[in-house]
Amino acid sequence: MIPGSQGKLHTCGWCYTARFPSMFNAALRRSAMLLTALLLGFNCKAQQESQSPWQAAVGDLVQQVLSRMGSPSAVSLSFANLSSLTANEQSTIKQTIMTDFRNAGVRLLKADSGPAGVEITFSEDWQSYVWVAEVKQGQGSQVVVKIVPREQKASPSRTNSFSIKKNLIWQQENTMLDFYSDGQNLIVLEPDQLALYGNDSGQWRLKQLLAIPHDSPWPRDLRGRLQLSGFQITAFLPGTLCAGTTTPPNLQCRSSDDPWLIDPNWLAAFFSPARNFFTGVLAGRPAGETVAFFSGASTQVGNSRQWVFAGTDGRARIFLNELSATPIMVNDWGSNLAAVQSGCGGGWQILATAPGDLNRPDSLQAFEIEGRHDEAVSSVVDLDGPVMALWPGDSPQTVHGVVQSLTTGKFEAWSMSVTCN
């Protein structure tokens, strides 16, 4: 106790120390200000950490749009989606775009309700998202395109679970569409003929050439499918169906729009007679319709049926159990894929090429479907050229690939399989 304060503390409480409340309040104010600053700092940091991962791309897009428009006071804004962005991702991006416009002092109007409008379409290619903003003012319009790289997938943990084995069967100068080989016989489907070879002491010797007549010129980038059952031969070509036998060798061809049998699990589809892809109309199991596609496959894993289609839009679609279900979208596969039975993992894998073109070497990788995601289960196998065809092989355990070597220019017939590590 402070000297001389004995009687005063009981009669007037804090009268003796009247100056301390103001000092105490000042200290409280300083503490409150410090606490507020700290909270603001934490909030700012939290906002930065929780900032939309699309913020940088959105900011650049909005700045380009406003630059083209001359900083308008109000615009109408509308959106369309042609990409694989999820509903949540679309919502986040839209909200971020609208926030950036408002922060720039622009009042947002309903679509088509103002003199200036912006229509933003979310699209994509095989490598990146492509955002297209069409800026309309008066009678004129301008386009702003923003390329947004996709987030890279985390390195798969199962890429060493399986290995892709490949065995070179044959190579030739002439165009090869498909082939069949059982070790003793080799049958090669070419644009205008079927070539039959026999194994002569480890060397393939030509035995017979069977002509493939057709009424109409072949389309550009011709494709064909060869199927054997015992001695029976079936060759599918655009607008043409050929049937015959290997013993005795004969082949009869006719104009036809019959569906092509794509794989042994009775996935069949109609092929465009004037193009190089399937129309999307299915005729096997299941029957129905999907998008136009270059290649397809079906697998059975436990009680789950899977159908996979490499669409002409550069995206693969995986349907689980029902074609009416929302598909799993895959954006980093190429246009050629096929199913192979290995007995490893889920039992079946999808072999898929990488996105690319005919001017560079291709690659192949095995995938399985885990939940609603594709997961790589093998390392990438590099090839000497583009894959021209990828079809089921002579058994469920093999896939046949036709590769045109960029080194020699020859067409190579490869038999591929997947083994456990």
What distance in Å separates the CA atoms of residue 397 and residue 335, rounded to the nearest whole number?
A: 21
Domain ranges of the chain: 55-149, 162-420
Cα–Cα nearest to 416, from 373, 353, 360, 370: 353
- What secondary structure does DSSP assign to 337-379, as a single string? EEEEE-SSTTSEEEEEEPS--TTS--EEEEEEEETTEEEE-B-
CA 284 to chain centre: 25
* CATH 2.130.10 fits domain 162-420: yes
**Residue 124's pLDDT is what?**
77
- The mean of the pLDDT values for the chain is 84
Mean pLDDT score, 117-146:
87
What distance in Å separates the CA atoms of residue 319 and residue 298, rounded to the nearest whole number?
A: 9
Query: Which range has the worst mean pLDDT, 48-62, 103-117, 283-297?
Result: 48-62
What distance in Å separates the CA atoms of residue 298 and residue 348, rounded to the nearest whole number?
A: 10
Q: How confident is the model at residue 19 (pLDDT cuts 50, 70, 90)?
A: very low
What distance in Å separates the CA atoms of residue 374 and residue 295, rounded to the nearest whole number?
A: 17
pLDDT digit string, tens, across residues 159-216 = 678 999 999 999 999 999 999 999 999 999 999 999 999 999 999 999 999 999 998 9
For residue 149, cis peptide bond before it (omega within 30 degrees of 0):
no
Mean pLDDT score, 119-135:
85
Cα–Cα nearest to 420, from 381, 365, 357, 377: 377
| Amino acid identity for residue 340 in this structure | V
What 250-258 contacts at long range (C-beta under 8 Å, 24+ apart), as own/partner pairs, is 250/210, 251/194, 251/210, 251/211, 251/212, 253/212, 253/213, 253/214, 255/214, 255/215, 255/216
Mean pLDDT score, 316-341:
90
Q: How confident is the model at residue 158 (pLDDT cuts 50, 70, 90)?
A: low
According to CATH, the topology of domain 55-149 is Rossmann fold (3.40.50)
pTM for this prediction:
0.67
**Residue 128's pLDDT is what?**
78
Q: Which two tokens stand for residue 333?
A: 């596969």
pLDDT digit string, tens, across residues 200-217 = 999 999 999 999 999 899
Q: How confident is the model at residue 51 (pLDDT cuts 50, 70, 90)?
A: low
pLDDT digit string, tens, across residues 265-289 = 678 999 999 999 999 999 877 778 9
Cα–Cα nearest to 368, from 389, 393, 339: 339
